[in-house]
Amino acid sequence: PPKNPSPAPKTTHSTKSDMRKSTHALPLHQTSTHVTYTPHRLKKASIIPDIVDDFHPKCFILPTYGHGKHSQAVLPGKKLKVSKTKEKPSLRVYCPEMKSTTGLTIALTDPDAPSRGNPKWSEMCHWIAPVSEAVGLLESEADFDFNFEFDIDTEKVEDLVKYKAPGPPAGTGYHRYVFILLEGSNTNLTIPDTRQHWGTGKEGHGIRDWAKREGLVVVGGNYFKEKQ
């Protein structure tokens, strides 16, 4: 993150989703395992409770950077090179037990800005994107054993806060870049005043404060690590 992050204008936002049913679905036992195992991995990385409170997992999110044979899927704790994360990732969302949702929003936050040992800029907001407005999305499905699995083309999604590529300063070690999937109405979300501290003005504060203010709840998470 930059030394002096520029503030984002405060406004509200309304969007429609661009989601399509996944053509590359994982077997159900794999999706269920990923969903239930997510909080364990987030706790091991101190993401729970430092960044978000413990939560009941409903979804697993699989961000993927790049395309084709050069693509890299993000499994929890994966180490990535700065050069691989310059463009926002595509997303696959697995919610094996979900039948419908009032809306899903993806966010990316850095709790280690400018370093994990000196997080005076944390949290840094890197991305917010309402990725669905899915009230009754699955109501037309006759089979209620249907698994909620979607690919999301994020290039066609209108970001609330534009994707800011990770840029950990040299010598600051690995940063945790944390994806959080939030559920709740996303038709009128408010942009944080600034990226730094997510507009709270408080060190160590960010997505938890913003989500609470917007009436959103955590249903999934993932993270990768990166350093210069």
Residue 26 is predicted with a pLDDT of 47
Cis omega (within 30 of 0) on the bond before 57? no
- Please tell me the distance from the alpha carbon of residue 155 to that of residue 159, in angstroms, as a whole number: 9
Q: What gap in Å lies between CA 187 and CA 161, rounded to an integer?
A: 14
User: Which of 37-46, 62-71, 123-132, 144-153 comes out lowest in average pLDDT?
Assistant: 144-153
Q: What whole-number distance in Å separates Cα of residue 103 and Cα of residue 32?
A: 21
Largest CA distance in the chain: 55
Where do the domains of the chain lie, and which CATH numbers do they carry?
Answer: 12-226 (3.90.280.10)
* Predicted pLDDT at 95: 87
pLDDT of residue 25: 44
- pLDDT at res. 3: 47
Q: 192 or 8: which carries more pLDDT confidence? A: 192
Residues 6+ apart with CB under 8 A from 196: 1, 5, 113, 121, 124, 125
Tens of pLDDT along 42-97? 999 999 999 999 999 999 999 999 998 989 999 999 999 999 999 999 999 888 87
Residue 201 identity = G
Q: Which amino acid is at 224?
A: F
Closest CA to 73 of 64, 81, 60: 64
How many angstroms from the chain centroid is the CA of residue 59? 12
Q: pLDDT category, 31, cuts 50, 70, 90?
A: low
Count of residues making up the chain: 228
pLDDT at 35: 84
Q: Give pLDDT, residue 9.
A: 42
Three-state SS for 187-202 is CCEECCCECEHHHCCC
- Model confidence at 147, pLDDT cuts 50, 70, 90, reads low
In the chain, the amino acid numbered 31 is T
Whole-prediction pTM value?
0.83
pLDDT at 221: 97
Split at pLDDT 50, 70, 90, the class of 101 is: confident
Is the per-residue pLDDT at 143 higher than 80? no
pLDDT of residue 196: 98
For the segment 1-29, what is each residue's pLDDT rounded down to a tens digit?
544 444 444 434 433 434 444 434 444 44
What's the one-letter identity of residue 145? D
Q: Look up residue 189 and give its two tokens.
A: 């979300």
Q: What would the pLDDT profile of 105-119 be if each residue is shown by its tens digit? A: 999 999 999 999 999
